[in-house]
Structure 1
Amino acid sequence: MPLQLNPTLDRVLDAADRPLIGGWVCSGSPVMAEIMAGSGLDLVLIDTEHAPNGLESVLAQLHALSGYPLTPLVRVSSGDPVTIKQVLDLGVQNLLVPMISTPEQARAVASAAAYPPAGQRGIGNALARSGRWNRVQNYLQDAASQVSVYLQIETAEGVENAEAIAAVSGVAGIFAGPSDLAASMGLLGRQTDPRVIEAVKTTFAAAKRAGKTAGVNAFDPAAARDYLEAGADWVLVGADVSLVARGSEQLAADFIPRTAD
């Protein structure tokens, strides 16, 4: 019997009756990926932009996530077509591409993720996990429905162009990155500044006008709840490395005596 792949994130969002909540795996560890997967989160994103990940470690984390009822995503390091091809061939169905500021960049990414004639993705289906080595029937013909592409808006220019970016054919939705957006706005390290929050919400409205979904990264609980109330379709609310860092600091504070200055 031919194999079937899991629904892509855009389909999961379409079927959801609430916003989806997820977390990052930035450690490069399949053990941490599996711990996050078993938490009850809707989504787990494997990061390759700011994490010590290569193709082999991403594959190991995909394997770790595969036994759990959630939707995995991978953020690539850039919109480089070769990188996108390799990650898709690993079997990644949901792709997040950072630092997209113009419709031209969006179109280039959409092309890199699609087979000809719609795009330029290289044909390696028989050799790759993407179509399970030709065990997924009609993968080549149906690949557009087996992959969803999300673009990360992280600059003031990107916010201005958000609707045009979201409207690009082959783009499933957009995702705001408040940290780099704050830096782009001259507010380095101030991702919860009201001006940054307002810019993020502008991307939500732009996505809706384009008929697409919008997500955001928000580790601050108050900001995450505010974004959910503002209409975010999915929010990433924490990362494995941050949870361990803060948790271990709390252990030290709780159990190690502190001497007075």
Structure 2
Amino acid sequence: MPAPKNTFKAAIAAKRQQIGCWLALGESAGAELMATTGFDWLLIDGEHGPNDMRSIRDQLVAIAGSDSHPIVRLPIGETRLVKQALDLGAQTVLVPMVDTAEQARELVRACRYAPHGIRGMGGTGARVTGFGSYDGYVQNANDEICLLVQAESRAALDNLDDILAVEGVDGVFIGPADLSADMGFPGKADAPEVVAAIADAITRINASDKASGILTLSEQGAQTYIDMNVTFVAVGVDTLMLANTARAVSAKTKAMIKP
């Protein structure tokens, strides 16, 4: 059996817009719940969420079989972490803080088997091969891995055209929060200078053969980025959705009590 078709990779390669959501709870029960909500993709956050490789694995298992494609965001772009995530069964990885084409090329190599990369062949007994039941996995695995890199600094934007030229990078995700801080506007991703930089980056990404991605926490932001033809847009974070809904219900119900 070959490596499964990566439907998310195929969709973004065709520039078909995909709507997703962040998973920051770090719990398989939450991931299983979110996999029933209709999002095209769900991102398991290993950078800011309370995750390790075991909890990432558990969430991959929870999402498997649903219509939502799991993406694993690693805490950092280290080769060993890329290898582990892939052997756990992740087909799509998002790597934060990629500032140069050299970094991007090293990540591509980490995602690929020799002779095109340095990914180890030890996945025979791992989840990615059905614990040895997918005897044809390695034949097409390189083709089905989707590598997304995050551009979230002035250096990344300065080097964006070079990053976009790296074969094997499938998409570039703009990180508004970190970008705004690096530009001198921490917590102000809506500063005109930041908005202009993001718009320029999206235009350049869309003009390439790569997919563009971004996260927004507002309906207005979602509409803006969809209208800008951003390929994959995250429109919420599970922890914030839970917290904001709970706060609203609590406040509304308490207001019913007569003084």
Task: Report TM bin, short chain.
Answer: over 0.9
Structure 2 residue runs of 5 or longer lacking an equivalent are none
Q: Does the 8 Å CA contact 2:3/2:144 hold for their aligned counterparts?
A: no
Which deviations, in whole Å up to 9, do the C-alpha atoms of 1:79-105 show, x marking residues without a partner? 111111111100000000000111111
> Distance in 2 between the 1:245 and 1:160 partners?
37
Alignment partner, residue 254 of structure 2: 256
What are the equivalent positions in structure 2 for 1:205-244 lying under 5 Å apart?
205-244=203-242
Residue among 18, 32, 40 paired with 1:20 = 18
Q: Does the 8 Å CA contact 1:159/1:202 hold for their aligned counterparts?
A: no
> Distance in 2 between the 1:6 and 1:65 partners?
16
**Farther-moved stretch of structure 1 (222-231 vs 96-105):** 222-231
Question: Match for 2:12: what amino acid?
Answer: L
TM-score (norm 1): 0.92
Alignment partner, residue 33 of structure 2: 35
Which deviations, in whole Å up to 9, do the C-alpha atoms of 1:8-51 show, x marking residues without a partner? 422122457x4110001100011111111111111111000001
Alignment partner, residue 82 of structure 2: 84
Using the TM superposition, give the Cα deviation of residue 152 of structure 1 relative to its aligned residue in structure 2, in angstroms: 0.5
Using the TM superposition, give the Cα deviation of residue 53 of structure 1 relative to its aligned residue in structure 2, in angstroms: 0.6
Q: Secondary structure at the match of 2:167?
A: coil
Identity over aligned pairs, percent: 34
Aligned-residue CA RMSD (Å) = 1.8
| CA spacing shift, 1:136–1:166, aligned 2, 3 Å | farther
Q: Secondary structure at the match of 2:65?
A: coil
Alignment partner, residue 167 of structure 1: 165
Q: Does the 8 Å CA contact 2:42/2:69 hold for their aligned counterparts?
A: yes
> Distance in 2 between the 1:161 and 1:37 partners?
35
Question: Match for 1:10: what amino acid?
Answer: K
The structure showing larger relative contact order (alpha-carbon pairs under 8 Å, at least 6 residues apart) is 2
> Distance in 2 between the 1:135 and 1:192 partners?
50
> Distance in 2 between the 1:168 and 1:113 partners?
14
> Distance in 1 between the 2:121 and 2:27 partners?
29
Question: Match for 1:7: what amino acid?
Answer: N
Aligned residue pairs total 257
TM-score (norm 2): 0.93
